[in-house]
Amino acid sequence: MSTLDFNAELAAAGANVKNRWGALRFFVRRYPLGAAGAVIMGIFLFAAAFAPWLTVYDPLSTNAAASLARPGTAHWLGCDFMGRDVWARIMYGARISLMVSLGAMLLGSGIGVVVGLLSGYLLGWFDLITQRILEMMQALPLLVLAIIMAAALGPSLHNTIVAIAIPLVPYVARVIRSNTLTLREQPFVEAAKAIGMPEMRIAIRHVLPNTLSPLIVPATAQLGSAILVEATLSFLGLGVPEPHPSWGRMLSESAAEYVRTAPWLVIFPGLAISFVVFGTNLLGDALRDLLDPRQRS
């Protein structure tokens, strides 16, 4: 490689970095609340990834001498009735809550994309039957359907992901189907049919990539809903079982009996849930305004 080519590539790389920083600065200036939401989500993702280095306590180890210890220098957020450090359980609980919510969102979105794409592209009897099933699922609130699924499957980590993912399918399928109905009439689809390309290849190669961009906003909104549903299921004893430290289970263990004598057992897990859902909603609203031209001023 000549020196001239190397300098050209270096200049192009520098221009890309400047463009990215410029886009980031524009996002922060134009959508400050969305940037704040991104920062909040980044903090919780950092806590989930580096939980072993952010606390010296094991979230599962008990200490009778520290039972219901108040927040202090030894235990920043106090201890629960079994002497387990609340700070450690919140840090490790971020892993459980985010893993379950992200897994449920990805699984529900994946199934919804497949169902919505096939329903909108094939139409006919398949679309008719699929839409009636989705309407029946949407007739029940998200939380109610998740409770029914969790009660039927039983409390476990994987079952909780499935129980939250299934109620999310209709919302994604509706978005993908509406976009597919528009795209299947576009000239590039007609051209692909004219040259004899198979229908499924057209749907996967040409229609599917163009339907994924509008999915970002509902997927982000569903992430916040999934976090709330996971906390509710764990609170009811239908979600993530012991010994996994879950924010909802921390509330379930402490809300009724220790809310007056040890309020930190309820306040700090509740704040963690509130902040992560708040950050997710702020980021989702900003992405909606950024990606939807109709929302721009």
Are the C-beta atoms of residues 239 and 249 closer than 8 Å to each other? yes
Higher pLDDT, 287 or 276: 276
Are the C-beta atoms of residues 91 and 49 closer than 8 Å to each other? no
- Per-residue pLDDT tens for 199-240? 777 777 777 777 776 777 777 778 878 888 888 888 887 887
Comparing 4-18, 74-88, 95-109, 207-221, the range with the smallest average pLDDT is 4-18
Strand partners, 79: 85
pLDDT range class, residue 257, cuts 50, 70, 90: confident
- Per-residue pLDDT tens for 99-148? 888 888 889 888 988 888 888 877 778 888 888 888 888 888 888 888 88
pLDDT at 18: 57
pLDDT range class, residue 253, cuts 50, 70, 90: confident
Nearest 5°: the CA angle 141, 145, 146 is: 115
Angle between helix 216-235 and 142-153 (nearest 10): 60
What is the arithmetic mean of pLDDT over 189-208? 76
Average pLDDT of the chain is 80
Q: What are the DSSP E strand ranges found in the chain?
A: none
pLDDT at 8: 47
Are the C-beta atoms of residues 234 and 147 closer than 8 Å to each other? no
CATH no., domain 31-295? 1.10.3720.10
CA gyration radius, the chain: 24
pLDDT range class, residue 17, cuts 50, 70, 90: very low
Question: Cα–chain-centroid distance for residue 145?
Answer: 18
Q: In this model, does residue 7 exceed pLDDT 50?
A: no
Q: In this model, does residue 177 exceed pLDDT 80?
A: yes
Cα separation, 46 vs 278, in Å, equals 17
Cα distances (angstroms) measured from residue 130 to each of 125, 134, 169, 170: 8, 6, 12, 10
pLDDT range class, residue 295, cuts 50, 70, 90: low
Cα distances (angstroms) measured from residue 184 to each of 107, 143, 173, 218, 281: 25, 34, 16, 22, 32
pLDDT at 292: 58
Coil, strand or helix at 79? strand
pLDDT range class, residue 293, cuts 50, 70, 90: low
- Per-residue pLDDT tens for 20-55? 677 677 777 888 888 888 888 889 889 888 888 888
Cα separation, 257 vs 253, in Å, equals 8
pLDDT at 11: 47
Higher pLDDT, 56 or 215: 56
**Residues 199/200/205/207 CA torsion (nearest 10 deg):** 70
**Size (the chain), residues:** 297
Cα separation, 160 vs 151, in Å, equals 10
Are the C-beta atoms of residues 211 and 113 closer than 8 Å to each other? yes
Higher pLDDT, 65 or 221: 65
| Model confidence, pTM | 0.78
Are the C-beta atoms of residues 100 and 240 closer than 8 Å to each other? yes
